[in-house]
Amino acid sequence: MNLTIENILLVGSLLLFISTIAGKTSYKYGVPVLILFLAIGMLAGADGIGGIYFDDPKIAQFIGIISLNFILFSGGLDTSWPAVKPILKEGIILSTLGVLLTAVSLGTFVWFLTDFTIYESMLLGSIVSSTDAAAVFSILRSKNIALKTNLRPTLELESGSNDPMAYVLTLAFLSLVINQDAGVASIIPLFLQQMIFGAIAGFVFGKISKYIINRIKLGFEGLYPVLVISLMFATFSATDFIGGNGFLAIYICAVYLGNQDLIHKKTILKMYDGLAWLMQIVLFLTLGLLVFPNEIVPFIGTGLIISLFLIFIARPVSVMLSLAFFKMKMRRRIYISWVGLRGAVPIVFATYPLLAGIEKADMIFNIVFFISLTSVLIQGTTLSVVAKWLNVALPDEEKKILEKDKLILNIPKSAMKKYRILPHYSAVGQQIVDLEFPKDTIIAMIKRNDKYHLPNGGTTIEANDILIVLSENHESMENVSQWIKQQDQPQIPA
């Protein structure tokens, strides 16, 4: 069955519907949704019952890049800086040195095991060197795994920030495969350029994006998520244009925005959560369609050996060496090494050799696909079991308390107080989003001219407004009192 304009919407909607329903019920049987999305795509493909012939790596790569933009950006928006800050060094080391060690150790093993050249082996190792943000985010959150101390932020920070390193290594070793005469030293400038430019661009675009979001007057709440999408793609493409790493830039930009006060922030976060799931489904369905199962069969033996080496040797060794200088219990290190899931990202990266037309591109793609499949099957289905076995999971009682804390804004507050904004207060004329209002309280309503208004981030404070503030406890309300005192600063006439 060939896809045409007439049937693509029907087929696409059916696949999305089946994937959504399957994803809702999959965890009842302990099967990660990512596997089901892939399986549905493969069943719908040329070798499956659907008979859809799709063999265009370029389109698959384009869909993959678009999807990764949304997935990484959504993960960045959900990243709490206070939670990440204590483990920032560990996360950065894992996402850089850890990825490099995984790529080199696995590449060396592939070189000894197969007839690949050293550069082809390192290319394969680089493609599967990073943990997949889509796989880690979706499995941790869908299974609602609550982990002790800072373990979960460490895992999410690593998975969200290590794709750029794997991407640079993939491009670097692909260039060495194409240009055999070039030396390894030639890829160092590319690496530095990609990472430095990407990091700087991400922070700069984050600052610019915050200013645009909070200053532009769109009039409709629904337009703000659309604005953020445009800023996300602008960040990625502009960074790529100047030679930086676009994936790193959008992740840093999203982390920055996620920890700032933004107009209609709740709406933006909800929309991105839904879009991230949509993009995961589309990405895995596309990659499932791209794969021909009969072409994978000859590589099952080799792929299984490489996959087991990656899971049980390469990944653990890289984690242990990367975290050697940090104080951390061994069971935490073991769990971090176990949550080294490979998902869609390596498969997307494996399309680059296909488009470059190198000799062993098909073999690399099929082996990478098998590695991702076995990784999610073996590791993804056992995350909860291993967490309990290593005693790094929170008890059910603490888990319930943690879940209630996350919903703090959706439950009634125990403390309420009214504050009048006098004409000389410095808050007059400012938007709520710019007030640096205490984080542990909310402005529930504003009484203005004897009428009550429901505020949002774009609401401008006026003289004699009465702020009706809700807080979880009276101690937190003291923060509001301190904030009010800071506003009580008469302006000196010019």
Confidence of residue 481 (pLDDT cuts 50, 70, 90): confident
Domain that holds residue 430: 414-487
Over the Cα atoms of the chain, what is R_g?
Answer: 25
Q: Which of 64-68, 132-136, 255-259, 374-378 has the lowest mean pLDDT?
A: 132-136
Indicate if the pLDDT at residue 414 is higher than 60. Answer: no
Q: What is the dihedral of CA 371, 375, 377, 378, to 10 degrees?
A: 120
Confidence of residue 492 (pLDDT cuts 50, 70, 90): very low
Residue labelled with tokens 């004329």: 429
Considering the domain architecture, whether residues 444 and 337 belong to the same structural domain is answered as no
User: Quick one: angle between helices 99-113 and 118-127, nearest 10?
Assistant: 130
397 or 9, which is more confident: 9
What residues are paired with 93 via a beta bridge?
A: none
Question: Considering only CA atoms, which of 163, 331, 324, 175 is closest in space to residue 236?
Answer: 163
Residue labelled with tokens 């008469």: 490
The residues near 458 (Cβ < 8 Å, ≥ 6 apart) are 214, 217, 263, 264, 431, 432, 433
**Model pLDDT, residue 404:** 42
Indicate if the pLDDT at residue 491 is higher than 60. Answer: no
Please tell me the pTM assigned to this model.
0.81
Cβ(52)–Cβ(3) below 8 Å: yes
Helix (H, G, I), strand (E, B) or coil at 53: coil
Considering the domain architecture, whether residues 342 and 482 belong to the same structural domain is answered as no
Euclidean distance between CA atoms 15 and 8, whole angstroms? 10
Confidence of residue 48 (pLDDT cuts 50, 70, 90): confident
Considering the domain architecture, whether residues 54 and 19 belong to the same structural domain is answered as yes
| Residues 93-117, mean pLDDT to the nearest whole number | 95
Q: What is the pLDDT of residues 226-273, one digit of tens each?
A: 999 999 999 999 999 999 999 999 999 999 999 998 988 888 998 998
Percentage of the chain exceeding pLDDT 90: 39
Question: Domain containing 373 — which CATH number?
Answer: 1.20.1530.20
**Model pLDDT, residue 261:** 86
What residues are paired with 393 via a beta bridge?
A: 147
Indicate if the pLDDT at residue 2 is higher than 60. Answer: no
Q: Is 115 exposed, middle or buried (0-12, 13-18, 19+ CB in 10 A)?
A: exposed
The residues near 178 (Cβ < 8 Å, ≥ 6 apart) are 356, 358
314 or 391, which is more confident: 314
Q: Which of 166-180, 200-214, 411-425 has the lowest mean pLDDT?
A: 411-425
Cβ(280)–Cβ(35) below 8 Å: no
Considering the domain architecture, whether residues 367 and 338 belong to the same structural domain is answered as yes
DSSP 55: -
For residue 494, is it within any domain?
Answer: no
Considering the domain architecture, whether residues 92 and 203 belong to the same structural domain is answered as yes
Q: Give the chain's domain count.
A: 2
**Model pLDDT, residue 45:** 80
Considering the domain architecture, whether residues 394 and 450 belong to the same structural domain is answered as no
**Model pLDDT, residue 204:** 97
| Residues 52-62, mean pLDDT to the nearest whole number | 88
Gap between the terminal Cα atoms of the chain = 76
Considering the domain architecture, whether residues 153 and 269 belong to the same structural domain is answered as yes
For residue 92, is it within any domain?
Answer: yes
For residue 408, is it within any domain?
Answer: no
**Model pLDDT, residue 82:** 84
- How many CB atoms are closer than 10 A to CB 208? 14
Indicate if the pLDDT at residue 410 is higher than 50. Answer: no
Q: Which of 31-40, 350-359, 427-436 has the lowest mean pLDDT?
A: 31-40
- How many CB atoms are closer than 10 A to CB 360? 17
Considering the domain architecture, whether residues 145 and 230 belong to the same structural domain is answered as yes
For residue 277, is it within any domain?
Answer: yes
Q: What is the pLDDT of residues 312-360, one digit of tens each?
A: 999 999 999 999 999 888 999 999 999 888 878 898 999 999 999 998 9
Domain-ending residue, one of 344, 375, 403: 403
Q: Tokens for 7?
A: 């049937």
Domain-ending residue, one of 403, 423, 446: 403
**Model pLDDT, residue 403:** 45
Euclidean distance between CA atoms 481 and 298, whole angstroms? 70
Cβ(310)–Cβ(102) below 8 Å: yes
Give Dmax (Cα) for the chain. Answer: 82
Q: What sign does the CA torsion over 324, 87, 388, 394 have?
A: positive
Q: Tokens for 491?
A: 């302006």
For residue 493, is it within any domain?
Answer: no
Q: Tokens for 174?
A: 């692909």
For residue 409, is it within any domain?
Answer: no
97 or 483, which is more confident: 97
- How many CB atoms are closer than 10 A to CB 47? 15
For residue 366, is it within any domain?
Answer: yes
For residue 237, is it within any domain?
Answer: yes
Give the chain's mean pLDDT: 84
Angle at CA of residue 117, ends 115 and 118, nearest 5°:
125
Confidence of residue 31 (pLDDT cuts 50, 70, 90): low
Considering the domain architecture, whether residues 359 and 440 belong to the same structural domain is answered as no
Question: Considering only CA atoms, which of 106, 32, 85 is closest in space to residue 373?
Answer: 32
Confidence of residue 152 (pLDDT cuts 50, 70, 90): confident
**Model pLDDT, residue 141:** 62
What residues are paired with 415 via a beta bridge?
A: 471
Indicate if the pLDDT at residue 153 is higher than 90. Answer: no
Considering the domain architecture, whether residues 253 and 381 belong to the same structural domain is answered as yes
**Model pLDDT, residue 439:** 73
CB-hemisphere CA count at 13 Å for 15? 29
**Model pLDDT, residue 33:** 67
- How many CB atoms are closer than 10 A to CB 352? 20
Helix (H, G, I), strand (E, B) or coil at 417: strand
Considering the domain architecture, whether residues 348 and 483 belong to the same structural domain is answered as no
Considering the domain architecture, whether residues 312 and 455 belong to the same structural domain is answered as no
Q: Which of 193-197, 281-285, 479-483 has the lowest mean pLDDT?
A: 479-483
16 or 58, which is more confident: 58
Question: Domain containing 481 — which CATH number?
Answer: 3.30.70.1450
